[in-house]
Structure 1
Amino acid sequence: MNCKFLHFICFQIYFFQFRVPLSFCSQKSHSVIKTLRKVPHDERLLVGGPYINSSFLSFTNCDCVLSTGNSAYISSSEKEEYVKLGGQKVRVKMHRLVEYLITYWEDKLTGLKAITDYVTDLFNIDVSEVRVCKDSFKMIEHVNIKQKTPLEKVVYVDWNVVPSEDEMNYILRDCRCSSQICINSEALPDFRFSNNFRRIDCLEISNSKWVTIDNLLTMDGIDIHLNNASLTNSDLNVFLRHWLSGGSPRLKLFCARTGSVDIFQVLAGLLDNAVLVEDRGDYTCPFGYSRTLSFGYDVKRGDGVTATVCEQMNGTLVIAVWPETTYNYN
């Protein structure tokens, strides 16, 4: 690769987004980068993108370091530059504004796997988070097979194609993920999850109409966020009683947007144990979600732990468990 792509001075190689293109210049530069590859302990490698045609690799504290593009859409009038990647010669060009390399592939899933393998080997780092869509779904398994430590976070984002029943079951039940799962997509109209939810610290489901009260009672999480839920006020009352009797012991923040919350139905039979509170203020959970608790009821569990239960204007029920903690589990 011609080093004219590298429009930066020598000390900038200490930034990850500059080390990656520099590593392609020669075998010697690649070897030098590998000797300097120590990664700060707070850096995490993210793989993915909302769609496979915008897939990328980045570190938490810097911009994209490498991305994929469709070789069918690169202009033939541009001067061709190639690097060796994934056992083949791959056409590349430098992004005009941000100065990261775009690699071009006929099959972009193959490209995403190749750039992931290259960067993890270059820096001797595991992938922390993958963001996949229908077309890049296989990246979850690819990453988990390649590394010993499980992924911390899996995000499924695709509003154009509905995941299959097998794909939904894999995300919820089978994929190795230690901390956080986010599903931002529709689900099949007849989808039902018949298994117990496994222990997961943070679960966010943007379209959770399929989540039943039986599902909810098996969730073992710290933060649970359910949007577009079909849970009834009676269901939410059952869940609150479940928590009061010692269920979901790790729970810190629960949010369910049903569009029709009635706080008195949720608290039915529990008002003797409820204290009206106003202006509780902002509640921040361990995963960065924040809620303003302007009006609600405090309920106390048998072990003395208190939760504020409140109905918000957008039809959301919030259960915030005290003491508030800002410890980040990521």
Structure 2
Amino acid sequence: MPFPILCTPFIVQSEIISILQPNEIVTASFCSKKVERLLKGHYQRRKPLEWRLFMTDRDSSADVIIETSKDDREGIPVIAAEDFSELDKSIHIPRESDRYEITFHTERSLPVIYFKDRVMAAKWVVEYVTDLFNLDIYGIEIDNEGIWAIDWINGQDKMLKCFDWNGDEATMDYVLRNTRASEQYTLAGTVSDNYRFEGKLVPGNHFLIYSDGHWVTLDNLMNFDFASIVVTGCRLSVPDLYAFIGHWLNGGSPRLTFLRLHFDNQLDFEHFEDQLEVVERDIAGEYRVWGWYRS
């Protein structure tokens, strides 16, 4: 027999809601409009400040994922969006609209929304969850098919905290020119050896290229405005690197405090310390290197 949560005292309701996982809360919100209003009212009063809401749109499927703490790197998928062509009506959830269908995915333990337009479905699930939990979208993780989300977020006059892209050269230039993320950019896509970028990125705190970073030139590096930069597959020459060090020592890239370049080829750094003007001191200590990624 279902537990009559709507008939319980307010304090008991709050305690019950507080022990539910995000995917359980989203699923429960589809039980009835009264339950949805109850849950929405709870989070209007008690905004889950540690929670981070991400949207992923990869491989023609969109999910909303919530990280419940800074230590929760995997996150909990709470709802998914699909095209009508993927509709499985085996477990149907009643709805009050002819525009979409809802089913419950038993293996993933979450509701799935189906629209005739998959992008519309993705927007719908993000808006539903942000409204339910009183949260802004924290980050997006997309491939080529998900670049619609960049204009959608920008059109709401909001800035992401984190942006993760894994596509190819067809959308790379658009991504670099139009994405705005205040905390972190992560690029893991593939581009040709001839690809070059001549624009400027919106400043952020951290910029990570996990593959195919050969496109990064000396001019790119000097124009990046980040506190930390990691480039994998770097092909800068030794003279380029020394030129950047000189630029930095003379006050260029003033926000940069951490730079890591993983080179494609073996380079000779015999006089590297001379370029840095290193002065030896009798000082030892432990220093923490910043690092973050979502698997």
Any idea what SS the aligned residue of 2:166 has?
strand
1:106: how far off? 4.6
2:27 aligned to which of 17, 21, 25: 21
1:117: how far off? 1.4
Conserved in 2, the CA contact under 8 Å of 1:217 and 1:239? yes
Any idea what SS the aligned residue of 1:81 has?
coil
For normalisation by structure 1, the TM-score amounts to: 0.72
1:277: how far off? 9.2
Between structures 1 and 2, the one with greater helix share: 2
Any idea what SS the aligned residue of 1:103 has?
strand
Any idea what SS the aligned residue of 1:135 has?
helix
In structure 2, relative to structure 1, the CA distance for the partners of 1:213 and 1:44 (3 Å cut) is same
| Paired residues, number | 271
For residues 27-66 of structure 1, the aligned pairs below 5 Å read 27-37=33-43, 38-53=46-61, 55-61=62-68, 63-66=76-79
For residues 38-117 of structure 1, the aligned pairs below 5 Å read 38-53=46-61, 55-61=62-68, 63-75=76-88, 78-84=90-96, 88-96=99-107, 98-117=108-127
Counterpart amino acid of residue 129 in structure 2: V
For residues 147-296 of structure 1, the aligned pairs below 5 Å read 148-158=157-167, 162-164=168-170, 167-205=171-209, 206-259=211-264, 260-267=266-273, 269-270=274-275, 273-275=278-280, 283-285=288-290, 287-288=291-292
For normalisation by structure 2, the TM-score amounts to: 0.79
In structure 2, relative to structure 1, the CA distance for the partners of 1:92 and 1:163 (3 Å cut) is farther
Any idea what SS the aligned residue of 1:91 has?
strand
* Aligned residues with identical type, % of pairs: 23
2:144 aligned to which of 99, 114, 134: 134
Conserved in 2, the CA contact under 8 Å of 1:52 and 1:133? no
Any idea what SS the aligned residue of 2:208 has?
strand
The whole-number CA distance in structure 2 between the counterparts of 1:47 and 1:193 is 27
In structure 2, relative to structure 1, the CA distance for the partners of 1:128 and 1:272 (3 Å cut) is closer
The whole-number CA distance in structure 2 between the counterparts of 1:209 and 1:142 is 30
1:171: how far off? 2.6
The whole-number CA distance in structure 2 between the counterparts of 1:277 and 1:105 is 66
The whole-number CA distance in structure 2 between the counterparts of 1:271 and 1:72 is 59
- Deviations 1:304-325, CA, capped at 9 Å, x for gaps: xxxxxxxxxxxxxxxxxxxxxx
In structure 2, relative to structure 1, the CA distance for the partners of 1:271 and 1:13 (3 Å cut) is closer
Counterpart amino acid of residue 199 in structure 2: N
The whole-number CA distance in structure 2 between the counterparts of 1:149 and 1:271 is 40
The whole-number CA distance in structure 2 between the counterparts of 1:284 and 1:111 is 40
Cα RMSD over matched residues?
3.0
Between structures 1 and 2, the one with greater strand share: 1
The whole-number CA distance in structure 1 between the counterparts of 2:142 and 2:76 is 19
The whole-number CA distance in structure 1 between the counterparts of 2:136 and 2:66 is 11
The whole-number CA distance in structure 2 between the counterparts of 1:140 and 1:12 is 37
